[in-house]
Amino acid sequence: MSAGQLAKLILSKKEDFFILDVRSESDFANWKIEGSRIEVLNIPYFELLEGVEEIIEQIPIDKKVLVVCAKEGSSIFVGEQLVAAGRSNVYYLKGGMKSWSEHLEPVKIGDLRQGGTIFQFVRMGKGCLSYMIVSDGEAAVVDAPRMTNVLEQFAKDNGYRIMHTIDTHLHADHISGGRKLAEQQSATYWLPPKDAAEVTFEYAKLENGHDIEVGNTTLKIQPIYSPGHTIGSTSFIVDDQYLLTGDILFIESIGRPDLAGLAEDWVGDLRQTLYSRYPDLSQDLIVLPAHFGKFSELGEDGRVAAVLSDVYKNNTGLQISDEAAFRSMVTNNLPQHPNAYQEIRQTNMGKITPDEEEQRAMEIGPNRCAVHDN
C-alpha cells in the first residue's frame, strides 16, 4: 500500500483497518500513524524474528491489516509471516514511515472571488501544511516542503506557472523547499527580513504593506507582521477571505516561541499577535495554518481550516486574559523540540547543505511547533 493510498483510506473515514507497527517502542511512542478508524498494535520487529504465533490472535480476520516499519523491509518480512499463519488482506507500507513522512495530499480549500483557487497540501505524516494560490494561470506557493517535485507536477498538470514562493518564517521543524522551488521555476523567493539576518542567499523582503500580486485579476496577498513563533513571523490575508497564520496560530493550539532559544523574549510578541493584532482583523476570515498537531484538526476531505471567530471561541490558548498566566502557560507547556531543529534552521539559512538522505533523517518525526495546553 502506498502512502497516497493510505492517506485516502484515512481521510475517507469509510473503513476500519488495523496497523501492526513493528518499529521500536520508543520510535512508536514518538510518532505514529493516526486516524479515526484505525486500530494500532506496536510489536517490535525483533520480537517477531522467530514467528508471529504469539500475536496471531491479536491480528483481526475481518479488516485490512497494514504492517508498518521504518523503511519497508521488516514489514515485508512480518507481513509474509502473517499470510503464512493464515491471515489474508495483509499489506505493507511501501517505503515505510519514510514515505509516510513525505507524502503530500492536495486538497482544494476554495475558490477566490476574482477567479482562482487556493489549494492546501497536507503532509499527513508530519503535520505540515503548504499552500498554492492560483489566479489566471499564475501561482504562489506558501511554506513549501522540500519535496518540490510534487508541487511542480501539480502546477504542470493544471497549467499553472509558479511565480512566487513564500516562507511565513524561518522554519525549524522541516526543510523549506521555497528557495529551491523558486530557483527551479525562475520565481521570486520571499522571506521575512527579521528572520533572515543570517541567511547566505538573496531573497525578496516580505514586509507589511508590500502586496504580492498573482494573475491578471490582481489577487492580493497582504503580508501582516505577526511575530511570536519567530521574530519575523508574517501572516497573510488572501482575497479578503483567508488568513494564512504560519506557525503563530493553529486550529486547536498556538505557536511555540522557543525554537531560537528566546522563549522569554518572544512570548510577549506571541501574546501581542494573538491578543491584539489578530482580534483587529475580520473575524470571518478562514484560518489556514502551516501545521496541525492532532488528527482531530483535519476536517472534511482532510482540510485543516476554521473560521477565525470559531478559533477564538474554542482554542484554549486564546482564553487567558491575564498576561502572567499566559506566559506561564506557554513556557510550561513546551513539547520536546523537533528532530534536528538546529540543523534544520541552519539548512534553511543556507549555512549547511545536507544531502537528500541526511535531510530525510533530519525531518523524521512530528513537527512539534505548537504549545499544548494541559
Instruction: Please confirm, yes or no, whether 69 is among the known catalytic residues.
Output: yes
Could you say which of 10, 65, 69, 151 is catalytic? 69
Return the exposure string of 195-230: e unless at least 16 CB atoms fall within 10 Å of the residue's CB, then b.
Answer: bbeebeeebbebeeeeebebbebebebbbbbbbbbb
Q: How far is CA 40 from CA 8, 18, 22, 32, 36, in A?
A: 18, 6, 11, 9, 11
The residue among 280, 279, 282 whose CA lies nearest residue 239 is 282
Q: Following CA atoms 13, 15, 16, 17 in sequence, which dihedral angle do they give, to the nearest 10 degrees?
A: -110
Say what angle helices 323-332 and 263-272 make with each other, to 10 degrees. Answer: 130
As given in the structure block, the three cell numbers for residue 220 are: 492580493
Q: What is the 3-state secondary structure (H, E, C) of 3-42?
A: HHHHHHHHHHCCCCEEEEECCCHHHHHHCCCCCCCEEEEE
Q: How many residues does the chain have?
A: 374
Residues 243 and 235: their CA atoms lie apart, in Å, by 7
Q: Considering all CA atoms of the chain, what is the largest pairwise distance in Å, rounded to the nearest integer? A: 66
Residue 106 neighbours by CB under 8 Å, 6+ apart: 119, 120, 121, 122, 154
Supply the residues annotated as catalytic: 69
